[in-house]
Amino acid sequence: MVKTITEENLRALIDALLAEGKRVVGPHRESDVILYAPLGAGSDFAADELPRRSAKETLFPLCESILTYERGKDGAKITDVEPDRFPETVLVGARPCDAAGAPILDAVFSWDYDDPFYLERRRRTTVIGFACTAADSACFCTAVGLAPDATKGSDLFLTPLEGGGYRCEAPSAQGEVLLGAHAGLFAERTAAEPLPPARPAVDGFDLPRLKAWLDAHFEDPLWAEIAARCAGCGACAFLCPVCHCFDIVDEGGENRGARRKSWDACGFGKFTNHASGHNPREIQPQRFRNRVMHKFKYYDDKFGQTLCTGCGRCIRCCPVGIDLVEVLEQIQAEG
C-alpha cells in the first residue's frame, strides 16, 4: 500500500496521535541540536538532519528503574515496576540507521530470557521511518548492508517528494493499521517523484571477509595500533543505535530507593574488573578490540547479524578522531 501525505497532514497526524494519548517521539530541535525527544505537538517535528543521538532510548532508556525497595523493621520489601504498563508509542521520523536498530536489538533482548523492559516497549511502539536524502562524510549505512531508503524496522516509511510532502509505504501490518486508522490524512499516490536517496561515500564492506579476519586475529598488533588513541570515554557506545551493554545499580538510601538498569560501555576501564582486582581487559586496546569484535563477529556468531547500522555517530563524536570506517578498511586490507 503506497499513499502520500502532505507536510501539514504529517504534523496533523502527530497531533491526532497525541490526542489519542499516545507518546510520540520524533526529531525535535533543542537550541542548535536535533534530538529524538517526546513531541508536544506536530509543530515540534524537525526532520532536517540526522539527530545527534540515536533513537534507541525510545526502547531502551539511558537509565530506568527495574524495582524499588524499602527496608524497615520487619525486613525488606520490593515493588515491581510492571513493564506491561508502558505507554503506546509512535516513533516518527526515525532515520533508516535508527529504525534498523530495533530488529537487531530484538535478538539479544529476547534470546532465552525475555527482557520485558525492552520488549514491552518494543511491542507498544510503531515506527515511522524517514528516508535520508542527504548524507555527511561519516554516514556509511550502505557499507554495512543498509541504505538511506531501507525500510528495515519501519512500520510506515516516508520518502520526501519533489515539491514537498511524502510518499508513504506500509512495510508492516502494524503500519497498515496506523495508516488505516488515520486514512483521512493520507491521499492516493500522485505523479510527484520521490527525492533521490542520499549517497554515502563509503564503499560496501565485504562483511564475511572482515569477519573471517576477526575470527583469526584476536591477537594482532593491529589492535594496539588502532586503539592507541582511544581515551575510553564511551561516547561511541552511548550514541550507537545498537550498543546495549548495561549496568545494574541500587540508587537511594539504605531504607528506600530503586534498582536501576543504566547504559554502560565495554570501553570503560572498570567494565570487566573483578572483585579481586584482576581485570581480563586491562588495557584500552583489549577493550577497543571487544567493541569491534562484538559488532562484527560475536553478534554475528550468536545471532547472525552485524551489530552496526552505519549511522556514523561514533565517527562524528569521537574526541580523538577514531574513524570506524578507517578501522574496518584497515582490517579489510589486512584480510
Partner 1 sequence: MCEAGKNIYLPHLATIEEITQETADIRSLRLVFQDERVREDFTFRAGQFAEYSAFGAGESTFCIASSPTRKGHIECCFRAVGRVTGALQSLEVGDTIGVRGPYGNSFPIEEFYGKNLVFVAGGIALPPLRTVIWNCLDLREKFGDITIVYGARTENDLVYKRELVLWQERPDVRLVRTVDPGGDGPDWDGQVGFVPNVLGEAAPSAENSVALVCGPPIMIKFTLPVLEKLGFADEAIYTTLENRMKCGLGKCGRCNVGNVYVCKDGPVFTAAQVKAMPQEF
Q: Which residues bind partner 1 (CB under 8 A)?
A: 66-67, 69, 71, 75-76, 78, 80-84, 108-109, 111-117, 120, 218-219, 244-250, 252-255, 257, 259, 261, 264, 266, 271-276, 278, 280-281, 286, 290, 293-294, 297-298, 301-302
Beta carbon nearer to partner 1, 290 or 309: 290
Beta carbon nearer to partner 1, 2 or 76: 76
Beta carbon nearer to partner 1, 54 or 154: 54
Q: How far is the CB of 192 from partner 1 (least distance, A)?
A: 43
Q: How far is the CB of 69 from partner 1 (least distance, A)?
A: 4
Q: How far is the CB of 59 from partner 1 (least distance, A)?
A: 14
Beta carbon nearer to partner 1, 120 or 176: 120
* Of 147, 256, 268, residue with least CA distance to 202: 147
Q: How far is the CB of 314 from partner 1 (least distance, A)?
A: 16
* Of 232, 242, 210, residue with least CA distance to 328: 210
Q: Take residue 111 and report the three cell numbers written for it.
A: 534470546
* Of 96, 242, 88, residue with least CA distance to 157: 96
Beta carbon nearer to partner 1, 201 or 248: 248
Beta carbon nearer to partner 1, 300 or 323: 300
Beta-carbon contacts of residue 192 (< 8 Å; ≥ 6 apart): 4, 161, 162, 163, 165, 167
**CA–CA distance, 234 with 70 (Å, rounded to integer):** 33
At position 335, the amino acid (one-letter code) is: G
Phi, psi of 36, rounded to the nearest 5 degrees? -75, 125
Q: How far is the CB of 127 from partner 1 (least distance, A)?
A: 21
Burial class (CB in 10 A: 0-12, 13-18, 19+), 48: exposed
**CA–CA distance, 211 with 52 (Å, rounded to integer):** 29
- If residue 214 lies in a helix (H) or strand (E), which one and from where to where? helix 207-216
Q: How far is the CB of 66 from partner 1 (least distance, A)?
A: 4
